[in-house]
Each structure stands twice: as C-alpha cells, then as structure tokens.
Structure 1
Amino acid sequence: MRILLLTATKKKAHRPHHLSPLVLAALKPPSSEVVYLDASKVAFDPGRSFFDFAALSFGTSDAEEASRLSRKLRSRGTKTLAMGAHPTFCAGECASSFDSVLAGEPEGVWELVIEDLAKGALAPFYDCPPDFASPEKIPERRLLGHRFFDVISSSKGCRYRCAHCQVPPFFHGAVRRRSIPSFLAEAEKLGKNLFLGDDNLHADPNHARELLSALPRLGKNWVLKTSVDLAFDRHLLLLAKQARVKAVQLCLDSFSSSSLLSINNRHGHPEKAGEAIARFHDHGILVAARLSLGLEGDGPDAFERALATADSLGIDLLSPRIVPPLPGTEFFRQLSREGRIFDPDWSRYDGRHAVFEPMGMTSGELEEGHAWLERELNSFRRRLRRASLGIPGFLAAFDVPFQGG
C-alpha cells in the first residue's frame, strides 16, 4: 500500500516542517510505502503518481487548496483523509471533499485508520479521545531530505486560553509532555540548529526548568517560543543562556493592555515587555515578536505606533499579522454572533487580509495599515540593520500559523 502524507498548501514559504505527519510515518504498517510532501516547499501534482491512500494536513487558510487536491486524488481512485486544525473544527464541511475526516491529534487514532483502510472499511469520521496515550515515536525525518534547521517538541498544547488561538481547543485544554530522556535521545541525532516546537515553553515552568537544565550537554543552538514571563525567572533565563538558546519568539499580540484583555491574553504584559527584552538581550538572546492587528482598541494610528514601540523596545524582528477569526476559537464565535465576519473565503484567513469589520477602523484601513507596516519592516534600511546586528533572516520562518497535531 502506498501512503501519501501531505502538508497541503499553495503558499511557498521557508517554514519549519510539520512534525505530526512524520510521526504518522513512523507508525506505518511494515508492508507499506510512505511518501511525505510539504507543498510549501515541493510542487505536488496529483496526476503524476498513484497512491492508495492520502492524508492531507492543513489549517484554515489552506482548506480550499486541500479540498481541490483531495478531489483530484479521489478522481484517480485514491482514498483521502483530512486532518489538522481546520478539519477538527469544520468536519462537516470537509466531509464533502474527503472520504474521511480526522478530528484532533492524528496519532491517537492512526493505527485504527490504517486497520480500517486495510479492511476496506474506512470510517467517514474519526475523533481522537482527549486522554489518549501519546505514542513516543521518533518522527521519520529521513523523508525530509536536506534542511538548515530541525524541529523537535518536548510538549504540545498551552495552558493559556487566548480567545483567538486554536491551540487550546485543539488539545482540549491539555498540555502533553514527553519524557526528557526520550527528547534528548532524539535531539542528539539532529543537526546543530534546532527549533523547539513547543507552543509556549514557559506555560509549564517546572517542565521548562527540567528541559533547559538538560540541553547544555547536547551542544546545540536553539530557537523557542515562550512568554515574557521567562525573562523574569532568573534561574530559567540563566539556564536558557547555558543551553545556547539564541533567540526566542514572544507572542506579544499587542502593546495595549486593553487590546490583550479583549482576546484574554494574560501573558503579553506590555508594561513589562521592555524590561523583558533587555533581559533577554543581556543574556545574548535575540527577540522576535508576533503582533496581532485589528483587535479592539486598534485604530488607524495603530500601525505607526506599533512600529515606534517595537523600535523603542529593541525588538529584533517583528512579525505583524491581521488577526484571523479562526474556527474553533472564541474570537470566531464572538465575531460571528456580532455579524462582523463578511468574507467566507478561507484562503483569505491568512493574516494578510481583513475578513471582518474591526471596531476602531474599516477593514480597508486594516489591510492598508498592515501592508504599510510590512513594507516598513522589510525596507532596505531595516534589512541592512538586521544584517549588521547578525540577526538571521530565518527567524521569520518560525512565525507560522497553527496547523494542528
């Protein structure tokens, strides 16, 4: 049996590889052949090769492209399955283009899917139980080929409940942690530059302390996602330096406390951001920050203020996006109740388009302001400054939307 594991998208990007399909590849039956493709890096033509079964992983902005690919694969006799964040929250919609839909973490029901497939009895819907025992399988990275950096995770999920984020509802509010010895054994075999794929390392300070204490022996360089709180834990910050953490990505979302409260972000702490960034810098750690635009409290002047604030705080790399109202989130439900979502085209839920009417400006002003901010951040002068400071451009690759799994 030939199995295709496809990260479905039509957007070309240098981004970290998605781990979940590679874990599924490690769970394959002995007699099967597994092919993994990331359509953001390699063009995929459904008509060139035949597969008995194809599992497509995708987020909301790639839903229409994934459905198109599934229809082409099915026309050639391939059974298809939808998995990831969008199928989890929009299973009924996906069912019209796929033979089967998997909600939640695919590892929890993958062996059942393969068993049913072998019997010719693929179910139309699979739902991963929230309390399943996660298999500690090493992802099949041999399917990836050459890459500059590797992704590895020690945990999945986040204890925070930000209204615009799909991570907590996808993982049923739980945080899954793997054993530190298992993590170290996998990391030891990888390259020099590693991205820690945990959704927020500081969401569990005890786990973060145990993990960071173990990393120095590996001699690797790390980039990780965390909150500003890590900077105020002196022991953790010192451990991060000793572990050779070279950069952190902070999910600040906004420099306004009222805007953060509107999406229930309790860890942004704009009043402490400047001191936190200075502490990271004092320990030789670069700071990348994600900013969400279009929140309550944002007006037409939000873009110039954001740029000026980022400069004054010393943020090394700012990644702004228009906050998309994604299915499964409280933000989506709120805007739906208020009748403020006007664009049903999922491909525009990508952080670059305004698909809803914000409170403090028009949707047109939001798109224009975001485009202006992107141009300013990518101006020749700013790119030259980042290069002179030794800020690697690949940091931008780590600000990617959640796909699920």
Structure 2
Amino acid sequence: MARVVILGAGLGGVIAAYDIRKTIPRQDEVIVINENDFYQFVPSNPWILVGWRERKDILVDLAKPMKKRRVELIVGAAKKVDPKGKAVLMEDGTSVPYDYLVIATGPELAFDEIEGLGPKGFTQSVCHIDHAQAGYAAFEALCDEPGPVVVGAVQGASCFGPAYETAMIIETELRKRKIRDRVPMTFVTSEPYIGHLGLDGVGDTKGLLESEMRDRHIKWITNARVKKVEATRMLVEELNEDGSVKTEHDLPMKFSMMLPAFRGVSAVRDIDGLVNPKGFILTDKHQRNPTYPDIFGLGVCIAIPPVGKTPVPVGVPKTGFMIESMVNAVAENIAALRKGEQPTHEATWNAICIADFGDGGVAFIAQPQIPPRNVNWSVSGGWVHTAKVAFEKYFLRKVRTGHAETFYENAALALLKTHKIKD
C-alpha cells in the first residue's frame, strides 16, 4: 500500500485528488492537506469585487465530495516539507508521512515587494475570496464618492487575465450606475504591450484588448514598474525597450486593484534541490522533481521560464487547461511507478481562457501555451460573458460531485468545434 499526499486544494490539488484516486490501486491512500475546508472558484473573484456574486456562490465544501471519492482531507497549515524524511510537517506539530508527494499549493502573493501594495496597503486584490470581499467594500466607497481608478499587474506578475477582467467589469458596473463619466480609468501593466498576457499574445489579443480599452475610454501604460503606492496616488515608471526610464507617472487614485508578483509558499521555499530562488518547484517533463523523484509539482507553484526577455519582468501564467494537463501527467506517472514502471506521461501545456468583461469578453486557445503554436486563436463577443457564467456554474457542479478531471479539455474541444477550428 502506498500513501499519496497532495499539498493544496486549489484547482490543481482538487483535480489531482480525484484523478489520482481513479488511477492508483484501491488500497492506496490519497490524502489532501489544505488550510481551508473549502474550494474557491478564483476566476469569479472579479464578480465578487463589484457585488455580482456573494461568497457562498463560489465556494464548495470539500469534505463531502472528497469523502465520497475516498480521499482523506486534512484541514491545517503546512509548516515545512521534509523531502529527506518524506513527510509534511504541520504548524500544529504533527507530521503527515508520504510515499509520493504532489505539491499543488499555488503561490504566495508578494505584496510586500512594493511599498503600499495589497489589501494591507492601498490596493485591492482578486487573488483570494477574502481579498475580493474586502475590495467590494472599497468599490462601494468609490461609487459613493467617484474618483480615479487604477487597475493592472505589477512587475513580476504572471497572471494578467484577471486584471483585464477586473478593469472591464468595473467599467461595466460604473456605466450601469451612471457614474462612469466621473471615474477616469488607467490600466497599468508590466507587459510590453496590451494583450501580451505573459504569452507573447495569443491570436490577436493585442488588437482585441486595445480596441476594448479604446471603446471603454481606459488609458494604459505598458512596460510599467510600480515604485510605490500611497493612499491617493500610485508612482509608476514607464520603461523604454532597453530598460531605461522613459516617463515617470504620478497617478491619482481613489480605487485600485493590482495583481502582485508570485513566489513559492514558505513550506517549500529555500529547500535545496526542490525549488528555484523564487521558491517555485523544479520539475522535469514528467512533472517530477529531479532531486526528490517521489515529489511531483503542478499548477501555479512550479517553475516555468518566461517566454522571452522583456523590459519589465513578466512571468508565464499557468491556466486551467495547462494545470489540468499537468494533473493528468502526474496521475498517470504515479500510477506507472506503482506498477514498477517508469514515468512517460507529459503535460500538453495548452491554454484556454474565457475572460469576461461584464457585457462581453475575449476568449483564446493556445496549443501549446508557449509559442510557436499549432493553434493560435482568439475571438471577442457578447457570447463570452454568457460562456463564462455557464463555465462557472458547470465547473462548481463538477467539483461538488467529484468529477472535474477533464473539464478544461472538454471546454476547449467545445470551443474549437463551435468556431470550426481544427484541433
């Protein structure tokens, strides 16, 4: 009998628990360690920020579906992974031994890297349900006393879709409230151009997103490095292609949502051979750590080099479709090891994104996510908002019933078929 421990119950961790349980022998144990007893659908947080969703709408109690799938859930904070002792040390002093460990923690949010950034500073966040709820109160205060809004992603960020969504959704809600004319908006991003997304663009995301910005009267600053955030202003440097400072911006603000850079969580940081200097898990093409072959990594917590050099550091996003393919590789490779075979499965690293803009949106598919690609497609339209709503409802139902393993793959195939694009 083997014991497979999964650290983290976000998108990757939850799917991994269900998929691994299905692929390994029945007598083996599957254990999930997570700080909370719930799963949160993070893509819905921009809706929470403007009051279009409530907390209960996007949370799933994990105890029941995991018990149904014969997965043990341990609710608690991990203090440190002990690769040599093959155990996860917990904050309460206990330890959870493992034969195989799957690290799916997601990231730590590096708000502290910029003075004044984050919920403890002067900007809001959609990275966590608690942040989005706090942001809703700040948004209502903005609507009571309208003023300038700054939205975007700081240097080192690797997740840009939610920044675009938040900007457009805020703009849509302000129009609904008939106060848009009293709220100047600026989009500040470390990307070298609008629509780069950490992927060097997908299809015509540059043209589509610039057009949306113009139509909605949202100004933008690219190659941006945020120096400091204060209560009523953001200090931003706009860089040239050679990295020199082109312009310094002193942006007034009444409300701001800025995505931070990520780093590895404290439970894995500084473990030699396991992580890179930023604390992200080092993996080979089989999602396996080269130094500790009984440890696998998947999702946002793994190390992936950027697609190319940019004036301001830009990370690579790990989207749902990409994470799902990592999960499948991990599940199949652990199953192979249980049979005495060597791992052979590799993640496809494809990307699908449905970005809601409140009354429209942009969707794209990149196969593979890192260029050059076999499929490089993007489209915009009012149907994207409807698709995102359906996407949320369907996926949460899948998580509740314990059958979310191939959701993103099926969604991508449906999009390709609908738009008559060859896979």
Q: TM-score range by the shorter chain?
A: 0.3 to 0.5
Pick the structure with more strand per residue.
Answer: 2
> Going by fraction, where is helix more abundant, 1 or 2?
1
TM-score (normalised: structure 2): 0.34
